[in-house]
Amino acid sequence: MSDRDGLEGLVVLAGAGAGSSALVTAEAAKWLSRAEVVVYDRLADPACLRLTAPHAERIDVGKTPGRSGPDQGQINALLIRRARAGRLVVRLKGGDPLVFGRGGEEAEALAAAGVAFRIVPGVTAAAAAAACAGIPLTDRRCASSVALVTGHEDPAKAAEAVDFDALARVDTVVFYMGVKRLADIAQRLIAAGRDPATPAAVVASAGTPGQRTVVAALGDLPARAAEAGIRPPAVTIVGEVVRLREKLRWFERLPLFGRTVLVTRPAGQAEGLSAALADLAAAVIEAPAVEIAPPADAGAAEEAVGRLGEFDLVVFTSVNGVEAFAARCRARGLDGRALSGAKVAAIGPATAAKLRAAFIEPDIVPERFTTADLGEALAAAGGLDGRRVLLARADIAAEALPEALAASGAEVEDVAFYRTLCPASLPSEAVEALRAGRVDWATFTSSSSVTNFLALLGRAGLDPSAALAGVRLAAIGPVTAETLSARGLTPAAVAEVHTTGGMVAALVAAT
């Protein structure tokens, strides 16, 4: 029995939510993680694809300006072929698959072909845009009815089916895909009896850091939206509920809304920091300035692990050090019991948490995360005179810590368990954003991230002074801040608590 029994030859029509991938439902995320094939639209946030397995086939069938893409018949045939080949297919559609998403047509084609399918609802654009703009779709004081209307009907229809006379009597009307026809929509609603002074709003790119909302009287909205340069994807909301926006516009009041932040942490380690920034409405661009690799000569690390029983204290200064140490222990068939004869020290809560995940409870975790504080904590724990200490860290780590430990009487073995390398290049998205002057903040969590990032700017043909002229810099602690200063850069935010959370707090305070 496999974990896919009964799922072969299945198509799951799933809604990706509108705007940010944060609105993907748990059910949709579950099916994405199982999918062998993902067929996705332009309006599905590309970040949703991170939820898929690395081996999953990804097929883009979205239509964009200048690129027509496959027609609906071709998409239906594609789904049927992959399912008949025994694949588990997720058809990922923006918003909800059955609300102006042609999901009904696709389900009908699957049913006619005898292909098994399921439908997973999603957060539709009307709900997402209204919530993120702070506009309730209903309110018992002024809106008891809602109509969802397409602003772009099927051109094959012989006559328009939208009944504007009926819509004029509905409390709240939401138009999808109607930016280009906004003037016509407003004119026809008013002609049908809707007061031209009715409050209305256009919400573009809802739920993303690029969200833009224009509010005006219905009669003035088309001109105001044109002046603001509103572009699809956008929805238009008409009704008295729009008046509530001024009190309820929570999303655009988040502290980092409208700011673009570069995250220079290594690939695979940026998720927590990126998520914390995104939760505050920042547009996050991951630009790894450090790569983690095994040491050039693994002999010293291998030899140190082979005689762990000789050490009185093992010190870890980073998550990377813990991961590299644990991997080497596992390769030798060792686990946390190999450290039973030694005390374990960790600099920083993230390092301590990583040790606990490996079933190693650190004995010493200084309240602050500096060499001096570690020395004080070790002294309080009984001193170091004559103790043998293993320092498991990077190949280019600073000398201050082993020197301080040796000065306290310890016999220190400073062993490189991993290397920090400079990547070949910065992602094109980061380079383009810097060139365009769209970056507001850049975050640095180590001295090597500073040094490498500046080198990568040069490789991209960017002068660091010019590229960072309008960019504010955030450092995780004083050592990283000193490295920035030494390179002629002034940090605008330095974390008091030397964690990524502390850095985000400092960045917000300085914004």
Active site positions, annotated: 41, 63
Determine phi and psi for 58, rounding to 5 degrees: -115, 125
Give the H/E segment covering residue 89. strand 88-93
The radius of gyration of the chain from alpha carbons, rounded to an integer in Å, stands at 28
Determine phi and psi for 128, rounding to 5 degrees: -65, -45
Task: Report whether 27 contacts 120 (CB < 8 A).
Answer: yes
359 burial (CB, 10 Å; 0-12 / 13-18 / 19+) is exposed
Ramachandran quadrant class, 218 (left: phi over 0; alpha: psi -120 to 50; beta: rest): alpha
| Residues ≥6 apart with Cβ < 8 Å to 190 | 196, 218, 219
User: Contacts by 129-132 with C-beta closer than 8 Å and gap 24+?
Assistant: 129/18, 129/19, 129/174, 129/203, 129/206, 129/207, 129/234, 129/235, 129/237, 130/174, 130/203, 130/237, 131/207, 132/19, 132/203, 132/206, 132/207, 132/211, 132/251
Q: State the Cα–Cα distance between residues 491 and 499, nearest whole angstrom.
A: 16
Amino acid at 325: F
By C-alpha distance, which of 21, 224, 257, 53 is closest to 123?
Answer: 21
The four Cα atoms 22, 25, 26, 27 give a dihedral, to 10 degrees, of -150
Q: Which residues pair with 316 in a beta bridge?
A: 346, 392
By C-alpha distance, which of 220, 193, 215 is closest to 204?
Answer: 215
The four Cα atoms 390, 393, 398, 400 give a dihedral, to 10 degrees, of -30
| Residues ≥6 apart with Cβ < 8 Å to 148 | 99, 100, 124, 126, 174, 176
Tokens at 271, concatenated? 């998720």
Task: Report whether 10 contacts 88 (CB < 8 A).
Answer: yes
Task: Report whether 174 contacts 185 (CB < 8 A).
Answer: no
Alpha carbon of residue 315 to chain centroid:
32
